[in-house]
Amino acid sequence: MTLFAIGVGGTGAKCLEALTHLHACGLLGKGRAASLGTFLVDPDQQSALLLRAQTAISRYGALRRAIGHRSNHFALGDLRDYGHWSPLSSSSGAVSLDQVFPKAILNSQASGLASLFDCLFPPEEQAADLEVGFRGRPAIGAAVMNRINLEQEAQTGQWQQMLSDIKAAAGQGEAPVIHLFGSVFGGTGASGVPSLGLLIKNWLSDQNLGGVRVQASLLLPYFDFEHQGDSDTGVHAESRNFQLNTDAALQYLRGSGSSCFDRVFLVGSDQKARYGFSIGGTSQTNAAHLVELLAALGVRHTSDSDYAFVLSRTRQDLISWEDIPDEEVVGRGLATGARFAVAWLNNFSQEIDAAQQVSMRTFLSGAPWARRFFSPSGSAADSAAGCPSIRAPGELSTKVCIDQYCETLLQWLQQLSSNLGKGFEQDLFGVEELVRTPYPDNNLHQVVRGKTRSDRQADADTVEAIKISMDVMPASEIQHVGIAGLADTLWTLCA
């Protein structure tokens, strides 16, 4: 499976954050690892949500490059990051609507359009600074987005790279999938996702690439603001308009959605999370949410059936593994990722750090599992087993990549598990366990909850038990050595 994912706006960026972690857990491909390309679209270049998605993407990308072909199970899916693009990038530095559509030029060349412009957009919207996004106003976003000339954009930069890769992938057998993400109740996603969907569909038609499927996960309202802006805030997103924006977007999709997308997934929540008010930029730090995970899981649904599937909860006040699509496979993948990250950061990584301070002989006396992956001499490759030194710079560089990605994964899982809304609970993960500790932690049994929790007894579901398993594993089951081989083996034993 070759997937090109486009996240539009802050919510779209959060969905790509979730999608990246699903990819890292091996959940995008069926039978073989998927190839994922990521592209972020947002005029708010200082968005904290954009930065968080970029961090997840870059850290998994660095991990994937560090592991290379030295793994059979861990971090197998390729990732290409096409970066971030702003729909204002071609507007000669313009940061407001009356600069994107200069009033003086409109008045002199098309006075009727100037009058229509004044009719559609009040003065405060015309003058609003768009560097923090489209301020929850889909009409502003639609005006900007519909100026995009995809043929022109396809000549250079990120669009050229991604569209060229789509053409190449389409010529290699299985048709790729293009999947867009964004909200329908804000400004950037509500205007950008349908606009880009239509542009891409038209481009595919012009390129005779009719087999490439264009999908979208559109998020209905799933959060509110704890308070609102005031008269000094200027034009800003208001939660009271979320339903109005949603109704307008759904009416558009009902009439014109087939010209934009081959398949649409709609997901929201009646149990609203509460976020602090922000107009955008670095202050928009909305925590990850379960709805974004559900939206990302839409890419796993590859059936050609037109049947309308409905997603719901078993209990009004609880989300459990039974409520997750493909819960056996998805639950196993996410549980493995969570258990791996906790075991790695809170035990194995600390042991490797400790090995840098003592002789290898001393280290092996307390960590006999390490002899399966590292040179017993501690200084050079072991000629018999071909194992690298535990102190080799390349090995330690790989360790840093795993450390950093695991920190990002745990942060996402922790937010996902605790950002639920008043009176709403989850039976997926143990929130208290999804943190990095400064001291070795042996317990794994509380990391995952519900039916996906390991069936081992608590006193046997430990990192120490995993180390014992490593120490006695047949040589044929350990096909890679060094840090990458250790991570690969740990991943299989955390399943």
Q: Are 450 and 427 contacting, i.e. CB atoms less than 8 angstroms apart?
A: yes
Same domain (yes/no): 55, 100: yes
Average pLDDT over residues 447-470: 94
- Of 344, 363, 471, which Cα lies nearest the Cα of 410? 344
- Of 136, 100, 149, 345, which Cα lies nearest the Cα of 249? 136
Cα–Cα distances (Å) from 208 to 6, 205, 214, 283, in that order, read 21, 5, 14, 44
Does 339 map to a domain? Answer: yes
Does 322 map to a domain? Answer: no
Does 321 map to a domain? Answer: no
Same domain (yes/no): 383, 295: no
Same domain (yes/no): 211, 341: no
Same domain (yes/no): 284, 339: no
Same domain (yes/no): 289, 389: no
The pLDDT assigned to 108 comes to 76
Same domain (yes/no): 245, 305: yes
pLDDT tens string 349-387: 999 999 999 999 999 999 999 999 999 987 655 444 689
Same domain (yes/no): 112, 240: yes
Q: Are 20 and 53 contacting, i.e. CB atoms less than 8 angstroms apart?
A: yes
Does 423 map to a domain? Answer: yes
Cα–Cα distances (Å) from 424 to 291, 296, 320, in that order, read 13, 21, 11
Among 251, 278, 311, which residue terminates a domain?
A: 311
pLDDT tens string 14-28: 999 999 999 999 999
Q: Which residue has the higher pLDDT, 8 or 91?
A: 8
Q: Are 379 and 391 contacting, i.e. CB atoms less than 8 angstroms apart?
A: yes
The pLDDT assigned to 21 comes to 98
DSSP strand pairing (177-183 vs 78-85): unpaired
Q: What is the mean pLDDT of the chain?
A: 87
The pLDDT assigned to 52 comes to 96
Same domain (yes/no): 135, 179: yes
Count of structural domains within the chain:
2
Among 243, 276, 311, which residue terminates a domain?
A: 311
Does 106 map to a domain? Answer: yes
Does 323 map to a domain? Answer: no
Local confidence band at 3 (pLDDT 50, 70, 90 cut-offs): very high
Q: How many CA atoms lie within 13 A of 215 on its CB side?
A: 24
Tokens of 286: 């909305």
Same domain (yes/no): 152, 243: yes
Among 311, 342, 370, which residue terminates a domain?
A: 311
Average pLDDT over residues 27-50: 89
The pLDDT assigned to 133 comes to 67
| Interatomic CA distance for residues 130 and 428, integer angstroms | 39
Q: Is residue 303 over pLDDT 70? A: no
Q: Which residue has the higher pLDDT, 234 or 322?
A: 322
- Of 272, 297, 307, which Cα lies nearest the Cα of 286? 272
Same domain (yes/no): 402, 283: no
pLDDT tens string 392-448: 999 999 999 999 999 999 999 999 999 887 888 999 999 999 999 999 999 999 999
Does 318 map to a domain? Answer: no
Same domain (yes/no): 336, 298: no
The pLDDT assigned to 113 comes to 77
DSSP per-residue string spanning 186-237: SSHHHHHHHHHHHHHHHHHHHTT-TTSEEEEEEEPP-EEESS---TTT-S--
Residue 307 burial (CB < 10 Å; 0-12/13-18/19+)? exposed
Q: Which value, to the nearest 10 degrees, does the dihedral of the CA atoms of residues 50, 55, 56, 61 take?
A: 120
Q: Are 279 and 233 contacting, i.e. CB atoms less than 8 angstroms apart?
A: yes
| Interatomic CA distance for residues 312 and 320, integer angstroms | 11
Bridge partners, 190 (sequence order): none
Same domain (yes/no): 18, 152: yes
Does 366 map to a domain? Answer: yes
- 359: domain range? 330-494
Q: How many CA atoms lie within 13 A of 82 on its CB side?
A: 26
For the chain, give the percent of residues with pLDDT over 90. 60
